[in-house]
Amino acid sequence: MAKDHYATLGVRRDATQEEIKRAYRRLARQLHPDVNPDPETQERFKEINAAYEVLSDPEKRRIYDMGGDPLSPNGGYAGGPFGDFGFGGLSDLMDAFFGTATRGPRSRVRRGSDALIHVQVDLADVIFGATREVTVDTAVVCPTCTGAGTAPGTHPDTCPMCRGRGEISHVTRSFLGQMMTTRPCPQCGGVGTVIRHPCPECAGDGRIRARRTLEVVIPPGVEHGVRLHLAGEGEVGPGGGPAGDLYVEIEERRHPVFRRDGTDLHATLQIPMTAAALGTTLTLETFDGPVEIDVKPGTQSGTVIVLKGRGVPRLRGSGRGDLHVHLEVLTPTKLDAEQEALLRKLAALRGEEIVDGAFKSDQPGFFSRIRDAFNGR
């Protein structure tokens, strides 16, 4: 007497494919030989696999509903250590235990790829923020077919190889008997349909290459190498799918005067020897306008003057860093006769003479300080 596959799985005769799959998963978990080794349970497990193999395949189910036996020796499962034991496909068994396998056609529409571009900015853009227009070559939705991929007035056809399932089955013999495996249909790529009349503009892809102009907001305080994330501004996916994301990598140009160190700025200001000795006031052009630098008499080379709040804004937080002005005292390299005479007179007045090329000083402790410096004191 023929088995009632619907009763075996406990479903109605008009059950949907999803209802059949859920019933199979539930019973497979309960009756698998690894879970329940009882002989009667193993026989029951064979029955639900045979029932699922018939009812999960639209063609085999149609033959069964018409009174035929799609698991006959000419096209079914026989032999092997478990008699007529058969799987509805290895992917179905994995799905029953792990829920990982999928059936049916996949969508032709897929998400697009992310894109990366580089934008060069000046130090002023980093300090105050800016807006930049960038041009990107990317994939956009085809204007002719609006992503469908078909020529105007046409539609995709059901794939003749897989009949719309998106996958084909293959029976192989193993020590467990005959097993069925499924793989994506090679003709339609797993989508279940074929485009016989592709769009003449995009050749069926649903997207074309185009050039777009975007506005990129440069936030104050951004650093070299930082990537700004623009969601949905990447490439449109196949079939007119949702666009990926666009990443904008910042490249900060080197400034001729100021050097950046985090949120601080550094600048070197050269001053004449006389100005350092006598003291003076110099004007430095900063990003916030001119600033007067007070050079005190006797300033030494390497002195650093810190201007608070004149640096780069903090990207996360409030306030700005500082501007560090490094003073470099310039010693004259060429002197005319009058200038040399004046310097020698100054040296004599300070007790610092050069006699026969040798330096002599009347200042107390001068050579002792040099000696201590060499001795590490």
* Shared domain check, 137 and 226: yes
* DSSP strands (E only) in the chain: 115-121, 130-141, 157-158, 167-174, 177-184, 193-194, 207-218, 227-230, 246-252, 259-261, 264-272, 280-286, 289-295, 304-307, 323-330, 352-355, 358-361
3-state secondary structure of 281: strand
Confidence (pLDDT) at 357: 61
The enclosing domain of 25 has a CATH number of: 1.10.287.110
Q: How many domains does the chain have?
A: 3
Same domain for 354 and 263: yes
Annotated binding residues for Zn(2+), as ranges?
142, 145, 159, 162, 185, 188, 199, 202
Q: What is the CATH number of the domain that holds 209?
A: 2.60.260.20
Same domain, yes or no: 328 and 364: yes
Residue 337 CA: distances (Å) to CA of 258, 272, 344, 351: 38, 19, 11, 21
Instruction: Report the pLDDT value the prediction gives residue 81, as an integer from 0 to 100.
Output: 32
Question: Max Cα separation, the chain?
Answer: 130
The confidence score (pLDDT) of residue 361 equals: 58
Q: Note whether residue 208 is domain-resident.
A: yes
Residue 26 · residue 95 · CB < 8 Å: no
pLDDT at 360: 61
The annotated binding site is made up of 142, 145, 159, 162, 185, 188, 199, 202
Picking from 206, 229, 251, the residue at the C-terminal end of a domain is 251
273 and 293 share a domain? Answer: yes
According to DSSP, the residues that pair with 268 across neighbouring strands are 326
Phi, psi of 210 (to 5 degrees): -150, 165
Domain limits for position 245: 115-156+195-251
Q: Is residue 163 a part of any domain in this protein?
A: no
Reading the block at residue 227, the tokens are 């990537």
Residue 183, domain member (yes or no) = no
**Which two three-digit tokens encode residue 303?**
């002195």
In terms of Cβ atoms closer than 10 Å to its own Cβ (0-12, 13-18, 19+), residue 69 is middle
Which one, of 341, 190, 204, 325, lies nearest residue 266 by Cα? 325
* 289 strand-pairing partners: 286
Which residues have a Cβ under 8 Å from the Cβ of 277 and sit 6 or more positions away?
Answer: 297, 298
Same domain, yes or no, for 312 and 212? no
How far apart (Å, rounded) are the C-alpha atoms in residues 98 and 122? 54
End-to-end CA distance of the chain: 110
Note whether residue 105 is domain-resident: no
Q: Is residue 318 part of a domain?
A: yes
**Residue where one domain finishes, among candidates 217, 232, 251:** 251
**Do 245 and 121 have their domain in common?**
yes
Element (H, E) at 51: helix 39-55
Assigned domain for 176 exists:
no
Residue 80 lies in a domain: yes
Do 30 and 121 share a domain, yes or no?
A: no
Q: 224-233 contacts: CB < 8 A, separation 24 or more?
A: 224/250, 224/251, 224/252, 225/249, 225/250, 225/251, 226/250, 227/116, 233/115
Q: Are 19 and 64 in contact (CB under 8 A)?
A: no
Residues 210 and 330 in one domain: no
108 part of a folded domain:
no
* pLDDT score of 250: 94
Between CA 299 and CA 271 the distance in angstroms is 10
Query: Same structural domain for residues 336 and 218?
Result: no
Residues of the chain with pLDDT under 50: 1, 74-102, 366-367, 370
Q: Which residues does residue 352 pair with via DSSP β-bridges, in sequence order?
A: 361
Query: Do 123 and 246 share a structural domain?
Result: yes
Q: Are residues 44 and 140 in the same domain?
A: no
State how far Cα 62 lies from the chain centre: 48
pTM score > 0.75 for this model? no
Angle subtended at Cα 298 by Cα 260 and Cα 306, rounded to the nearest 5 degrees: 25
Domain boundary among the residues 235, 251, 267 is at: 251
Any idea what DSSP says for residue 240? G
Examine the domain organization and report whether 12 and 128 are in the same domain: no
Euclidean distance between CA atoms 50 and 152, whole angstroms: 45
Residue 18 backbone phi and psi in degrees, to 5: -65, -40
